[in-house]
């Protein structure tokens, strides 16, 4: 994987997998690092702008001071994508990390790098889908500023702000009523 990679460090593209972090780098021992991953294939990069914006937002949530904005990161990513053949299937990984600090990261020491490397997509073999209630990590467990949450509707997934989310309650239908129709689009769904 590292043979077919380009990494942008301090404004320059470097081939391969260059060493970036040392044993005293804050990100190594206190995990003051954020990244986001995006895909590119056939010179298309779905939602690349959103991935770039999300890594900047994540860095701010972690107490880092991002050195680039989303548009600048996106421009660097496109420059990397264009260095590969048009048929290449790529993974794009922008990263912000803190280089200094003791327990708390020093925001002014925030560094950035972006890697673009070949990572073939798995062959399409069909898809099995199962719907079940899930829960995002609690803010007490990890910094999370995502105000949206996946909510399961009876027939499909919808996104609603958490403030309008209704609590999930299991209720048993009275014996006199007929059972709700089953989902026809997904066999054995149970919704």
Q: What is the pLDDT of residues 85-132, one digit of tens each?
A: 999 999 999 999 999 998 889 999 999 999 999 999 888 887 777 666
Q: Is residue 187 predicted with pLDDT exceeding 70? A: no
Q: Is residue 70 predicted with pLDDT exceeding 80? A: yes
Q: What is the distance between the alpha carbons of residues 64 and 106, in angstroms, rounded to a whole number?
A: 7
Q: Is residue 2 predicted with pLDDT exceeding 90? A: no
pLDDT confidence band for 147 (50 / 70 / 90): very low
Q: Is residue 191 predicted with pLDDT exceeding 60? A: no
pTM > 0.75: no
- What pLDDT score was predicted for residue 126? 79
State how far the alpha carbon of 6 is from the alpha carbons of 1, 86, 165, in Å: 11, 16, 43
Beta bridge partners of 29: none
Q: Is residue 66 predicted with pLDDT exceeding 70? A: yes
What is the CATH number that goes with domain 2-118? 3.30.470.10
- What pLDDT score was predicted for residue 164? 54
pLDDT greater at residue 94 or residue 189: 94
Beta bridge partners of 51: none
Asked if 55 and 73 count as a contact pair (C-beta separation under 8 A), the reply is: yes
State how far the alpha carbon of 19 is from the alpha carbons of 9, 10, 15, 169, in Å: 11, 13, 11, 51
Q: Which of 61-70, 94-103, 135-144, 177-186 has the lowest mean pLDDT?
A: 177-186
Q: Select from 12, 29, 156, 1 the least CA-distant residue to 104.
A: 29
- What pLDDT score was predicted for residue 11? 83
- Alpha-helical (H) ranges within the chain are 26-30, 48-61, 70-81
Mean pLDDT in the chain?
A: 79
Q: Is residue 10 predicted with pLDDT exceeding 70? A: yes
């Amino acid at each position: 994987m590292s043979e077919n990679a380009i990494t942008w460090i301090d404004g320059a593209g470097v081939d391969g997998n260059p060493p970036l972090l040392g044993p005293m780098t804050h990100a190594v021992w206190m995990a003051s690092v954020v990244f986001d991953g995006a895909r590119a294939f056939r010179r298309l990069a779905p939602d690349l702008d959103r991935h770039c914006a999300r890594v900047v937002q994540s860095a701010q949530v972690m107490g880092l001071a991002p050195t680039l904005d989303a548009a600048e990161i996106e421009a660097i990513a496109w420059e990397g994508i264009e260095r590969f053949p048009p048929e290449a299937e790529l993974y794009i990984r922008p990263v912000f990390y803190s280089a200094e600090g003791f327990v708390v990261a020093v925001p002014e020491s925030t560094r950035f790098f972006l890697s673009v490397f070949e990572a073939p997509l798995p062959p399409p073999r069909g898809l099995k889908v199962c719907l079940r209630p899930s829960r995002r990590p609690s803010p007490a467990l990890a910094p999370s500023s995502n105000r949206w949450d996946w909510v399961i509707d009876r027939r499909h997934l919808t996104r609603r702000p958490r403030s309008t989310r209704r609590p999930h309650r299991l209720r048993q239908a009275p014996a006199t009523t007929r059972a709700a129709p089953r989902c026809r689009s997904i066999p054995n769904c149970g919704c």
